[in-house]
């Protein structure tokens, strides 16, 4: 076997000298290097911002969605949406382990895993798309993928159904980062709180902020709020359009008696929600942009333009222990697990 770079740079075709994620094209031939793992792919969980964009481009037509996905992989060697730049993750079965990794990994051939690195850097080959589940952003395929030596993964738990685990692990960074950022007594706003990542963020925020804190759930529709309200994981429920910064600001001012929020978490999978999050945050507070639809330029210049001294955190999908944190929520809350299963699995 050929020797590979731990970060996968040996797979980069264009442009040379960059890592696989920012690369325009990578090598997706499925003969592995000595430090790679070959995966027989079962399901792709497409990043919410990416799937929304693809579905919009295809006008919701499943066959067109398939064509767009296949063309992305054929052109780039990976499933990295050229519009959003994002990817997603996958579950599959370990088919082969590179010779130099055999003694370094706890994996063995036949193990079922979820990759916790983005499809935007993962060499992928799609032989066929079997089913597109538009309501949960999941796509069953016949194909192969490569996990680099530096790639993180989780063995699928035996006590949680596979599709449920996949949906949870896809956004595992959001609740785990929330757990790191929230302090007891904080006022926390979650934008897009009725969505896949938003619900998990609400749960962690409510658990940590406690009775002295205030957790605000904002979603676009009243029907979505009704669904979340039954879980009892927020103190205030507001319907609002996260692209309308002034509307959000005024509603949050009212809900907080003019104090605004210590922490705002943006989970909205559509663009132009940066200013709503920024305006809702008190000076020296923190904004956590988990959504891949976030524009760094709009956030940075927007905050400057309104004189907001806030800490802004890019939504890193990885933090230590994030898989365990996210899956534990499913074990702790049957009501949330049941809802998640209904909506996303």
What CATH number is associated with residue 267?
3.90.180.10
Range of the domain at 14: 9-156
State whether 85 and 32 are in the same domain: yes
Based on the fold, state whether residues 182 and 298 are members of the same structural domain: yes
Does a structural domain hold residue 163?
A: no
Residue 161 in any domain: the answer is no
Could you tell me if 86 and 19 lie in one domain?
yes
pLDDT of residue 77: 98
HSE toward the beta carbon, residue 50, CA cutoff 13 A: 23
143 with 277, same domain: the answer is no
Query: How far apart (Å, rounded) are the C-alpha atoms in residues 46 and 129?
Result: 13
With respect to residue 324, please indicate whether it lies within any of the assigned structural domains: yes
Q: What is the pTM of this model?
A: 0.83
Do residues 38 and 32 lie in contact, with contact meaning Cβ atoms separated by under 8 Å? yes
Question: Do residues 193 and 147 share a domain?
Answer: no
CA distance 29 to 70: 15
How does pLDDT run across 291-310, given as a tens digit for each residue?
Answer: 878 899 999 999 999 999 99
Q: State which of 156, 190, 209 marks the end of a domain.
A: 156
pLDDT for 1 equals 86
The domain boundary, picked from 124, 156, 188, lies at 156
Is there a single domain that holds both residue 134 and residue 54? Answer: yes
CB 264 within 8 A of CB 288: yes
Of the candidates 156, 190, 219, which is a domain's last residue? 156
Residue 168 lies in a domain: no
Cα 306 from Cα 312, distance rounded (Å) = 14
In this predicted model, what pLDDT tens digit does every residue of 252-280 receive, in sequence order?
A: 999 999 999 999 999 998 889 999 999 99
Question: Are residues 191 and 149 part of one domain?
Answer: no
- Tell me, yes or no, whether 3 lies in a domain: no
- Is the residue at 162 inside a domain? no
Tens digit of each residue's pLDDT (9 = 90 or more) over 81-102: 999 999 999 999 999 999 999 8
Residue range 34-59, pLDDT digits in tens: 999 999 999 999 988 899 999 999 99
Count of structural domains within the chain:
2
pLDDT for 201: 97
Average pLDDT over residues 60-86: 97
Q: Give me the residue label for tokens 């200013």.
A: 275
For all residues of the chain together, what is the average pLDDT? 95
The verdict on 181 and 320 lying in the same domain is: yes
Tell me if 261 sits within 8 A of 252, measured CB to CB: yes
């Amino acid at each position: 076997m050929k020797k590979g770079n731990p970060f996968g740079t040996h797979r980069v075709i264009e442009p040379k000298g960059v890592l696989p994620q920012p690369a325009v094209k990578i090598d997706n031939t499925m003969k592995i290097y000595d430090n790679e793992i070959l995966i027989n792919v079962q399901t792709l969980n497409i990043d919410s911002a990416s799937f929304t964009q693809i579905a919009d481009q295809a006008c919701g037509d499943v066959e067109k969605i398939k064509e767009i996905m296949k063309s992305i992989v054929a052109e780039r060697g990976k499933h990295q949406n050229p519009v959003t730049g994002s990817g997603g993750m996958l579950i599959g079965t370990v088919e082969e382990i590179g010779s130099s990794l055999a003694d370094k990994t706890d994996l063995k051939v036949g193990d079922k895993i979820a990759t916790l690195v983005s499809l935007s850097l993962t060499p992928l080959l799609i032989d066929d798309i079997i089913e597109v589940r538009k309501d949960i952003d999941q796509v069953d395929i016949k194909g192969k993928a490569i996990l680099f030596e530096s790639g993180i993964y989780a063995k699928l738990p035996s006590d949680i159904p596979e599709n449920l685990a996949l949906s949870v692990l896809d956004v595992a960074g959001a609740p785990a980062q929330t757990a790191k950022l929230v302090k007891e007594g904080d006022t926390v706003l979650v934008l897009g709180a009725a969505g896949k990542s938003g619900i998990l963020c609400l749960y962690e925020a409510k658990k940590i902020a406690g009775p002295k804190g205030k957790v605000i759930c904002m979603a676009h529709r009243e029907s979505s709020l009704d669904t979340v309200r039954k879980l009892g994981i927020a103190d205030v429920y507001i319907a609002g359009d996260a692209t309308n910064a002034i509307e959000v600001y005024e509603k949050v001012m009212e809900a907080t008696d003019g104090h605004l929020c210590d922490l705002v978490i943006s989970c909205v999978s559509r663009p132009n929600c940066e200013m709503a999050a920024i305006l809702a945050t008190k000076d020296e507070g923190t904004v956590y942009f988990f959504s891949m639809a976030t524009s760094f330029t709009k956030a940075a210049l927007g905050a400057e333009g309104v004189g907001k001294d806030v800490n802004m955190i890019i939504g890193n999908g990885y933090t230590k222990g994030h898989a365990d944190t996210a899956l534990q929520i499913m074990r702790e809350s049957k009501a949330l697990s049941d809802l998640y299963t209904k909506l996303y699995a």
